[in-house]
A and B are shown apart, each in its own frame.
Chain A
Amino acid sequence: MFHPSHFTAVLLFALFASTVFGITMRETPKRMFRYGAYCFALFVGSVIVLSWAMFFISR
C-alpha cells in the first residue's frame, strides 16, 4: 500500500489536476503549459499559505 506524507499527496494531486486543467482549458501547447504551471503553483502555494495560517490559528 501507498502512504504518502500530506505534502507528497498535495504535490501528486496538484501535478495530475494541473496537467488535465492545462490541456483542457487552453488551445496551444505553450499556453497549456503555462496554464498548467500556473494551476500547479496556485494549488501548492495555497496549501502552504493555508497550512501556515492554521498553524498560527492553533497556537
Chain B
Amino acid sequence: MSKNKPGRIEITAQEVNHLIERGEKRSFTDQDYVIVLAVIRNYFALHDAYQEKSRTILRFLSWIFGHRTEKAKDVLKEAFGPNDTPFHRAGKEKAQRAWPKWRLLLPGCSESDGASLRLQSGGSMPPLSQRKALPLL
C-alpha cells in the first residue's frame, strides 16, 4: 500500500446505529467526533453541489461511495476547488490540520439494522474492491 494513501474510517450498520443513539443522547466520544465530522463534511459537499446545481453531482456521488475514488478525485479537482464553498473558505485549512488523512467508509448497508462502525487507518485496510469510501474533503 502506498504511503500516501489516506487513512479510512469504516462504518458498518450496528455501529452507525450506536453512533446515532449516542448522538441522540448527546454523548459523543472523541472518536465519534472524527466520524461525525467526516460524515457532515461529505454531506456538506453533496449539499453544496446540490445548491450550486452542479452537473458533476452524480460523479461526485460516485467519488464518495464508489471504488475508484482516487481517479474521480482528479476528475473533480476543478469542480470542487479549495475556494468554491463556504466550508472551504471557513475552515478547510483547520480541518486538514486536524485530520489530514481520514476517510470514512460506509460499507453496503443491506442488513436490516443498518451497519456497524469499524475505524481503520493505514495498512490494515481491506482491498479497495471491498470498500466504499467517503473521502474527507
Q: Does B associate with A?
A: no
